[in-house]
Each structure stands twice: as C-alpha cells, then as structure tokens.
Chain A
Amino acid sequence: MIYLANSLTSPGIGMVIWAFLIFGIFFLVLAKFGWKPILSAVKAREEMIKGSLESAARAREEMKKLQGDNELIIKRARDEREVLLKEAREVREKLIADAKGKASEEAEKIVEKAKTAIEREKAKAMSEIQQQVTTLSIEIASRIIGEKLSKTKEQEELISQYLKEINLNKN
C-alpha cells in the first residue's frame, strides 16, 4: 500500500517540471498563434452575420415602405388620371358645344349677310326697274301723248315719286 501511495498519488518533481514546461509551451504558443486568429475570425464572422442580418431586416423594412409608397403613388396617379380624363371630357364637350354655337352663329351671320346682300341687290334691282319703268313709262306716255310731254326734269321726278309711292304701297 505504501508502494501504491508512492507511485500513484505522490507527484515526482520531475513530472511536475515536465508537465509545467509542456503545458506552458502548449498554452503560450497556442495563445499567441492559435486561439487569437481563430477567435478573432469567428468573432469577425459573427459580427458580419449579425450586420448582414440587420441590414437585410432594414432593407426589408425599406422595401415595405417603398411598396407602400408605390401603392400610394399608383393610387394618386390613378386619381389624377381620372381627374384628367374627366377634365378632358369636359373640355371636349365644351369645345363641341362652343364649336356648335360658333358654327350656328357663323351660319346666322352668313345668312344675315346673304339676306342683306339680297336686300341690297333687290333694292338695286328695284331702283333699276324703277328707272327702267320710269323711262319706259315716260316713253310710253310720250308715245301716247305725243310730243307734248317733254322729258323735263319735273316730270321725271314726279313719276319717280309715284313709283316710289307705289313701291311703298306694295311693300
């Protein structure tokens, strides 16, 4: 039992020194060249993943917002189109109405003009006819009465006056 106690449970100084050296070197070398790069790489990766996830979430949020905006814009555009179409319709109707009004006015004007022209022509023709009639009447009268009735100015005027009266009466 002493033997057991000696060899199994009592550490020898040599073993302690060797273990100290070996584990010490193992620890120091790995601390400097092993764990540092490994842990920093793992940490960097984790931070990158975290950052990526956050930015993805942010992007998603933004997308949602944009989508909302888009819908709003589309709705506004649709409304605007409605308004524009309505306005266009109104304008068209107004234009047509205006055109109609103008056209009838114009037509009326033309008719008026034509009427006045006709009037004028009629008057002119009438006066010419009068003249003709006067001349003819005088000629006829002179033929009838002979030479007694000269073509004096007073007579001519008198006849014109009669004719006018007739004319007026007719009218």
Chain B
Amino acid sequence: MSGRTGPGERQFLDPSVLARIGSLELKARSIVEGFLSGLHRSPFKGFSVEFAEYRQYMPGDDIATIDWKVFARSDRYYVKKFEEETNLECHLLLDVSASMAYGSGALTKREYGACLAASLGYLMNRQRDAVGLIGFDEQVVSMLPASARPGHLRALLVTLDRLPQGTRTDVSKPLHQLADALARRGMIVLISDLLDDPEQVIKGLKHFRFRGSDVIVFHLLDPDELRFPFERATRFEDLEDAAEVLAVPALVREHYLKELDALITRYRRELGGAGIDYCLVDTSQPLDFALMAYLSSRARVF
C-alpha cells in the first residue's frame, strides 16, 4: 500500500484539527474520506456483486463496467455501480477506563480512541462490514452488536458519544468475557493504552486468537507518556486510583522510559508472536497511521 494523503488532507486528519470538529460523525467522515482520497487505488474494488445503480460513462471509467444491454436499449453508455459488500464482522473494543482520560495535547487518549473507533466504524460501514462497539474498563460497560446496516453507523457513533467514563483498567477480564461471548469469528480491534498487567492483557487477546478471530491492537499513548518531558519536581497522581508518586523527572526519566520501552517491546514481541497486529499510536500523530495499520491487517485477512 503506497497510498498516502497529500498535504491538504493530512492537515485535515491532524488531531488538533479534529479536536475543533464537534461532531464525531463529521470527524469520522473527514478522517476516512480524507484518508481514502489519498489512495491511488481502492483496495475494496471487486469485493461486492450487489448492484447499486447506473451512472453515465465518463472518460476514464473501465469499459468493462459498461452495461452493453443498456447501451443497446438507449444508445447511451452507462456503467454499472456495485455495492461493496463483505461478510466481515468486526468488533471495536474501546478502553474507557480513567487512564484514557489523560491527554497533553488537543485530544485525550479517550477522544483519540473514539475518533479512531468512529473512523474505523465509518470505514467498515462504508464497505458493508458488520461493525460493533464495546466499551470497557474493568468490565464491559457498553456493547453495540455488530451490524452492516447502513443506519448502523449512526447507532455506533451515538454509542461512542455516550460511552460512560470508566474507572480502573482491567483489560484481560472483559477480553476473556468477550472472547467467550463473541462466538462468530471475525475481527477484534482493541483500542487501549494497555496500562495494565501485560501478561493478563496478552492472555486475553490470545483468547480471541484461539477463537479464530483476527486481532489488531491500537496501543494509544500520549506524547507525555512516550517521552516523559516533565522538568520540575512533580507529584504524579494516578488517574485510576489514589496512588501518588513524587518524583524529580530528571532522576526518574531514564527509569520510566526504560520501563515503557520494556512494556512496548513485550507487547510487540508477544502479540506479534501470537499473530496479533500491534500498532503503537502516538496521540499527537494523525489518525491515518492507525487506519493504514488497520487496512494492512484487513488486506491480509482477505
């Protein structure tokens, strides 16, 4: 996949720009349309056989798509448009725990994750994949079953908007629950900061793989979490519990970054080993990186 967005579209996908767009739907559309318009060739062409409409032939259209019967009747060139349709069932698992409320830039991880989920939902709905949404913290707090209906996108966006603020993170517990509950094979997209016991998280995700689902993990981290840029002595208060750590950043930075690197390395290694796509996402970066990761993963499935 060599398709990239141009400078104009790229600006459109920037998180700081997205933050100023109020509607999640509009955000999703902006992201996806901007993203897709940058691609040279649609990866979805030929997936569907369901007729959608006729359109007058325009120079450049593939002449194979010209309906010769209509030409015979009307002496005009029309091309047949087909609805792209698949039977993929995808579930977006969005972490809504308190730790996702952290954000140093325009968007918090939660907001960034919601944008990502909406964009993915929009994209999937556009290509007639069934998409569902599950919000969780230490348990499942919201669940929208997967569906490919055209109106389902709206339901998904509304659900995303209304997801409650979670508390503590326990990724593994809801993962195990969902792995058992989602009997049908499909795609699982986990959007989380994965600030949990990595062993339990990996176990939960492997459970999905065991069930035959394809899993893609978007590991969202704020730039502050990735670079730890603090300077002055700081009292760090945990977003999920009452834990406090008073630290001089200059003294603990090396240790922190080492710990974080070990965590990321472990996820990347062990999830990759289990056939799970792992994508580390910097929430200060445009979302097209995440979408590209998803499409790569989906292309491999089909």
Q: Is the pairing of A and B real?
A: no
User: Which residue numbers of B lie inside 8 Å of A, CB to CB?
Assistant: none
